[in-house]
Amino acid sequence: FQADMASLLISPPIQHSYLPSSCSQLGLQSHGQFRRKIYFLPRSEHNPSTSLCQDTAGRRQLIAVGAVVAQSLLMSLHSPSFAAETKKGFLSVSDKKDGYSFLYPFGWQEVIVEGQDKVFKDVIEPLESVSISSIPTVKQDIRDFGPPKEVAETLIGKVLASPTQKTKLIEASEHDVDGRAYYTIEFIAQAPNYTRHALSTISIGNGKFYTLTTGANERRWEKMKDRLKTVVESFQIFNII
């Protein structure tokens, strides 16, 4: 376990690496795939002399809107990494190269953070984010590292929070998805100017130790907790072909 943790310690702590509010200070860049085209439909000329023209114009607008929606859906479905929206208020990420998938709240933007495989965050509330990383491991099961509480305390103290932050483990639990064990960790990390309430889920597959972490400012936890739990619970590892 210590050898695998040493690999994680090479990069900055996950939480500390992207929490400042200004993306420009970190040199973060919005992902190009999130640029969306906005279509404007011309308003039909109003002709009070006949309702038939109005009905025809209305049908044409509906057909045009339908075509735009269909095109957008087709583009999403054919994207190699981003699937169509699978749950109201969420978008899905499916990474076939690295073998994992998860949901994140609609409106969060992808940013580039060194040492992280993927990061999505809210541009207004920078503590609201989700990140995923992985390191090689020879272990076959997360339970090989020990029980949830023991593993959680090590990760929080060494990886998931900055050494300067005060941390508190709230809960560590285990669940199973399709025969694969996952540990879920809930904890608080307190810095001088903010307190973050976070959730992490960890598991092993494809010869990798996966860590997904999401969270929010403590003052917004009650408002965000259901959405953040959806993110953590949606995380799944699948075998790379």
Q: What is the pLDDT of residues 143-158, one digit of tens each?
A: 999 999 999 999 999 9
Contact between 104 and 130 under an 8 Å Cβ cutoff? The reply is: yes
Q: What is the mean pLDDT of residues 212-227?
A: 97
Gap between the Cα atoms of 108 and 72, Å rounded:
18
- 132 located within any domain: yes
- 206 located within any domain: yes
Sheet containing 195-205: which strands, arranged edge to edge?
109-111, 118-121, 129-136, 208-217, 195-205, 180-190, 166-177
pLDDT of 30 strictly over 80 = no
Q: What is the pLDDT of residues 163-183, one digit of tens each?
A: 899 999 999 999 999 999 999
Compute the Cα dihedral for 120, 104, 98, 175 and give only its sign: positive
Predicted TM-score of the model (pTM) = 0.69
Tell me which of 44 and 153 has the higher pLDDT.
Answer: 153
- 112 located within any domain: yes
Contact between 113 and 25 under an 8 Å Cβ cutoff? The reply is: no
Instruction: Tell me which residue range forms the domain holding 191.
Output: 99-237
Q: What is the pLDDT of residues 87-118, one digit of tens each?
A: 899 999 999 999 999 999 999 999 999 989 99
β-pairing, 208-217 vs 90-95, is unpaired
- 208 located within any domain: yes
- 67 located within any domain: no
- Coil, helix or strand for 86? strand
Please give the tally of structural domains in the chain.
Answer: 1
- 39 located within any domain: no
CATH code for position 153:
3.40.1000.10
Side-chain-facing half-sphere of 73: CA atoms under 13 Å? 7
- 231 located within any domain: yes
Contact between 148 and 172 under an 8 Å Cβ cutoff? The reply is: yes
Q: What distances in angstroms separate CA 61 from CA 51, 66, 72, one per listed residue?
A: 15, 8, 17
Lowest mean pLDDT among 61-70, 89-98, 197-206, 218-227: 61-70
Contact between 178 and 200 under an 8 Å Cβ cutoff? The reply is: no
